[in-house]
Structure 1
Amino acid sequence: MATERTGNVELDACIEQWLSWDKNETTNAEIIGLVKDNDIGELKKRLLKRISFGTAGLRARMGAGSAYMNDVTVIQATQGILRHLEATRNEELKKSGVVIGYDGRYNSHRFAELTATVFLNAEVPVYLYSKINATPYVPYAVTHYGCQCGIMVTASHNPKEDNGYKVYWYNGAQIASPLDKHLAESINNNLTPWETSWNTDILHDNPLVKDPYEEILEAYNKDLQSLCYQKELNQSSPLRFTYTAMHGVGYPYTVRAMEEFGFSPPIPVKEQVEANPDFPTVKYPNPEEGEGALKLSMETADAHGSTIILANDPDADRLAVAEKVNGHWKIFTGNELGALFGWWLFYSFTKSNPEFPTTDLYMLSSTVSSKILQAIAIKENFNFIETLTGFKWMGNRTSALMEEGKRVLFAFEEAIGFMCGDKVLDKDGVSAAAVMAEMATWLNGEGHTLSSQLEEIYKTYGYYLSINSYYISHDPSATERMFEELCNYNGTDNYPRSCGPYAISHVRDLNKGYDSSVVGGQPLLPTSKSSQMITFTFECGCVATLRTSGTEPKIKYYTEHCPNPNRGLDRDGVLKELQDIVKCIEKYFYQPEKFGFQART
């Protein structure tokens, strides 16, 4: 392990340290091979940086080195979480334990077993799933068993080269700031893998290890019945549903959920229904990508006379929906589905619970998502709450509301993430699929389609039309320059007052901690120095948010237009104006040619 391996003192120290830590022969050999090839650039990329731990836990490419997902970084994260729990909730931890699940990606089972090993060596009870599971089954199990922590090994819809490590706290919600910082500090204080952390033999015949699969399967689906409005009608549904798991884990869980609602099993997209870590039929295993990702689903549906497609992402926490109307497939956006879910869950709940005071009902959505729920809440006299981006915020806010005795019917984010009810405090594509099938069946009985009902919602509550997309930026410094230019657009500390011909009335910058719409300029939402998010409110009624992604090299934008009804714009007029605003944002704010950004393909 001599430091003269590369001639770079800092790098050679990291190489020596890594090779002394890593007991996995495959990843150990990767580093040795890079040293032999004298690939200094790759070694620096892998070893001079650490994978960051945040509110999304860990997520990165799999491979050797401290910057990637591997046995060492998983062990380090678990050791840090264990030590933090021992210091803050040790009595509860040793009594109620932790839940660990995993998806069908390469190394997911291995990472889950290493995670369990660290806890078991500290005599912490572990509920370790015996087979691949849907992500929602981990937060559900946390609250079901009263555990102190839940860990799901998954990279959700990321490319096949990636994996991740998602953390839930004792309330069943994802970790949020400042807990992530405390855990990151504890991880950094426990980087050296303990000898016992590699010994997965401790899992065998250990009385502290329990398989939660059967019990949670039954309990989850029993609780799911609280969302079912009309089981008898569902049993005779004339609609045929097509389902894709996108090469992920969702099929058995979604089939069971739909059966719980009275439906026959959906028609599976055979090429994608079984878990396959290579994701062979899709460029990106993300149903949010639209027609390209749903091509096989459409072919399967057409072959079987099916008019509705339900698509989970690989870990089954998201749901995409498409409907065939007049011979053409319409793929709903996350905001459109949010409008449909919000309308239906309020309608079905109040019909089933006419005495429940609507003033105690709540719905939530993130700041980059449609405000259609707010419009529905105002008209129907229930409560709406806007949160920061991510279900970590909505889940924790829901937990707090439940402690106050309130009822949360629904929460959503535009990235096709939906939380129906409050049994799982995270997005849940399994329950969402069953609820969507029931909604479509009820609407069919009323002579409506999902598409026609969406139009009715807009007519009743306002045309909240949105266009969301992103640019790819592989250069973080270019991303930073773009946002700095927006903060100093017309001189130092001045934001844009217009974008093309469209005047801007207010600006909110959650990175700088500024909101021109608030007296004193202090935003009502929490600020973050670690990420960029600027929201522009236009005088014409459009709201546009530009933000960096926490898990991908993307600069995303989210726009929504709901002009004053007095302007007399119909749906086409609203959409045309929104499309023009988006073009201006791309041209004047993103300036892709100047900064070298790549447009979404």
Structure 2
Amino acid sequence: MTTELFTLIDTAAAAGKLTADSPANLKSWLTRESVAQYRPRLETLIRAGEWSKLDEMFWTAIPFGTGGRRGPMGEMGPATINDRTIAESAHGMAVYLRSTGCTTGGSAVIAHDTRNNSAHFARITACTFAAHGLKVFLFDSCRSTPALSFSVRHLGCNIGVVISASHNPPADNGFKAYWSNGGQVIPPHDKGIVSEVERAEKIPTVDFAAAVADGRITIIGADVDREYVGRVAKLSESSNRTIRAIFTPLHGVGETNVYAVILAAGYSTVDIFEPQRTPDGNFPNVPKHAPNPENLEVFDPVIDWVKATNNPADLIIASDPDADRLGVMVRNGSGGFTSLSGNQVGALITDYLFRKRKASGRFSPQDYVVETLVTTPLTKAVAAFHGARCFSELLVGFKYIAQTMEENGTDHFVFGTEESIGFLAGDFCRDKDASVAALYILELAGELKSEGRTLLDQLDQLYRDCGYYCEGQKSIYCEGPTGKAKIDGLMQTLRDAPPAQFGAVRFTEAADYKTGRRISIPSGESAGTIEKPRGDLLIYKSDESQPVRIQIAGRPSGTEPKIKFYFFCQSDLINGDLEAARAAGDAAMKDVQKALGEWAQKMLS
């Protein structure tokens, strides 16, 4: 029978109906005893010639990357998130934990978001961990990613897991892995877990009801919520509660942390947007069912409602499905709403916190903020303006902000920020938290309103203090079977022969975080070395002597055939003229973005 099925698979592959690793993966699942339970269904699909469906489930194996797994859900196969791939992930974590010295005992905490099958996958994870002898704490219903990070530390667990695909489409789900400090796993733990996941065969499990009954799995909820919400609310820096705002959780878990903190902090003028309030993994009332606050379309239903009802809201804030990121829109002078980028929100809160520390006598030159290499240099400039420190040589990922907190201690930690609307304050969590950002942006907006000003006015004040900054992004895609090879080739060209000019802007230095080299452009001479961090990231810097300076960061995507470019511009104020600096900076940014796009397409054609 197996030979016959193999022949059908080979015939389909020869006809182009199966691609990539599908033939090999299908044959593996037909012969491995550890996945024998799927064999009858697999045989049915093969005999029925359901090659398109089979190809979607078997064309690759979703990698257990440095933070976990994320991808489309499916009934089986290594290319989808399903019972088997979730169990493999949990099994790999548990086996690796045992290899680190925790040979017996230990504990884990598990949370999940509102996505379809999230609660089911959380139970599979709990049963797998319990079968490995871990004491398991499982939240009674959907919770946020930062609440999980807090719980790992609060409950003294060795590991933690969030079942979530963050802001991905409804068809996706994922497995996010956390270590004992409450941060996502980093080296050497990430690679150790990956190795065990790849080796997974027979995976032990326990009966869920029996494990709950005998205490191997403990259901948690309100007690932990109270501790977490209370800790966030205590971060408050102002008693001003006058701002009027609308909050939307986008059908995610944000009511459990963001809105809970807003209420605990004493706000009575922040309403929740009812059409997007119900937890629902299909995100029915979110435009295009795409619940990403970085996508400004998600705000359209709220803005339309505000206009239709003449609601006096000064702000609209939105959290993503697992409520670790926050988008912000502010009412502008014409009565409409203007979005604030993650870079702008981060800089505003950084300034707010330093001003509050100075006003209360708590400021120290040892105080520090943390940002990544693809986050605005404005944050570093704000820290310097206040005489504080900023750690900014970090690779992309909030886990590196958590690592920096561990390395430098939290006594002087003030704030962590990344461009993708992730923010953190306090010493009790090690991942970004939308509730922290919501608390501070509401307080700052309220204080500004009492002065007759807005967040947009305060942003302009930062520009007057530190220079004008603007940012942008551009992704270069290359689809098809040769897409990845072309993207790799483009990155290599950028390394080996960095362009000296994009548009009217000349570039003088390239920093290669993969090789650890800094080189001068166009001479190619060494300009120094990079000890750490090390990763596949390139940064180009323009002539520092010019009044308008551009920095470009480029990195390949780990999941798509694309390079993502981040653009940063600083424009000096000449004689204090902000509008002239803004015009010069915006023009240079537009010019460079256009020129780079044209150059990349020429290289790829």
TM-score w.r.t. the length of structure 2 is 0.89
Check the 8 A contact 1:2/1:12 in 2, yes or no.
no
1:229 matched to 2:237? The reply is yes
Structure 1 position 274, deviation (Å)? 1.2
Q: Which moved more, 1:407-416 or 1:418-427?
A: 418-427
- 2:351 matched to which residue of 1? 343
* Identity level (%): 26
Question: Paired residue for 1:193, among 202, 219, 222?
Answer: 202
Report 1:258-407 matches (<5 A): 258-264=262-268, 266-281=270-285, 282-302=287-307, 303=309, 304-326=311-333, 327-352=335-360, 354=361, 356-386=362-392, 387-402=394-409, 406-407=411-412
Structure 2 vs 1, CA of residues 463 and 451 (structure 1 numbering), >3 Å: closer, same or farther?
A: same
Structure 2 vs 1, CA of residues 212 and 365 (structure 1 numbering), >3 Å: closer, same or farther?
A: same
Whole-angstrom CA distance in 1 between matches of 2:476 and 2:414:
34
Q: Which moved more, 1:391-400 or 1:504-513?
A: 504-513
Whole-angstrom CA distance in 1 between matches of 2:50 and 2:258:
46
What's the secondary structure of 1:89's corresponding residue? coil
Report 1:436-585 matches (<5 A): 436-475=441-480, 477-488=482-493, 493-516=496-519, 521-528=528-535, 532-539=536-543, 540-551=548-559, 554-565=562-573, 569-585=580-596
Question: Paired residue for 1:126, among 114, 118, 136?
Answer: 136
Question: Paired residue for 1:426, among 420, 426, 431?
Answer: 431
| Post-superposition CA distance 1:139-194 (Å, at most 9, x none) | 100111111111000000001111010011101111113321111111222x2233
- 1:4 matched to which residue of 2? 4
Question: Paired residue for 1:154, among 145, 164, 168?
Answer: 164
- 1:598 matched to which residue of 2? none
| Post-superposition CA distance 1:15-62 (Å, at most 9, x none) | 3146851647xxx77644531233456535533532111122100111
What's the secondary structure of 2:316's corresponding residue? strand
Structure 2 vs 1, CA of residues 457 and 35 (structure 1 numbering), >3 Å: closer, same or farther?
A: same
Whole-angstrom CA distance in 1 between matches of 2:26 and 2:589:
54
Whole-angstrom CA distance in 2 between matches of 1:464 and 1:525:
26
* Structure 2 unaligned residues grouped into runs of 5+: 11-22
Q: Which moved more, 1:363-372 or 1:267-276?
A: 267-276
Question: Paired residue for 1:210, among 212, 218, 236?
Answer: 218
| Post-superposition CA distance 1:105-151 (Å, at most 9, x none) | 11111111011101112221111000000111001001111111110
Structure 1 position 460, deviation (Å)? 0.6
- 2:72 matched to which residue of 1? 61
What's the secondary structure of 2:354's corresponding residue? helix
> Which amino acid counterpart does residue 121 of structure 2 have in structure 1?
F
Whole-angstrom CA distance in 2 between matches of 1:265 and 1:21:
54
Structure 2 vs 1, CA of residues 179 and 252 (structure 1 numbering), >3 Å: closer, same or farther?
A: closer
* Structure 1 unaligned residues grouped into runs of 5+: 596-601
Whole-angstrom CA distance in 1 between matches of 2:559 and 2:321:
16
Whole-angstrom CA distance in 2 between matches of 1:230 and 1:138:
27
Structure 1 position 260, deviation (Å)? 2.0
Structure 1 position 474, deviation (Å)? 3.8
Structure 1 position 249, deviation (Å)? 1.1
Report 1:246-265 matches (<5 A): 246-264=250-268
Structure 2 vs 1, CA of residues 424 and 11 (structure 1 numbering), >3 Å: closer, same or farther?
A: closer
Q: Which moved more, 1:441-450 or 1:279-288?
A: 279-288
CA RMSD of aligned residues (A): 2.5
What's the secondary structure of 1:104's corresponding residue? coil
- 2:597 matched to which residue of 1? 586
What's the secondary structure of 1:79's corresponding residue? helix
Structure 2 vs 1, CA of residues 10 and 208 (structure 1 numbering), >3 Å: closer, same or farther?
A: closer
Check the 8 A contact 2:476/2:597 in 1, yes or no.
no
What's the secondary structure of 2:102's corresponding residue? helix
| Post-superposition CA distance 1:295-339 (Å, at most 9, x none) | 012123332221210100111010000011121210111111111
Whole-angstrom CA distance in 1 between matches of 2:182 and 2:378:
27
Structure 1 position 545, deviation (Å)? 1.2
| Post-superposition CA distance 1:357-397 (Å, at most 9, x none) | 52221101110110112112222111100111110111111
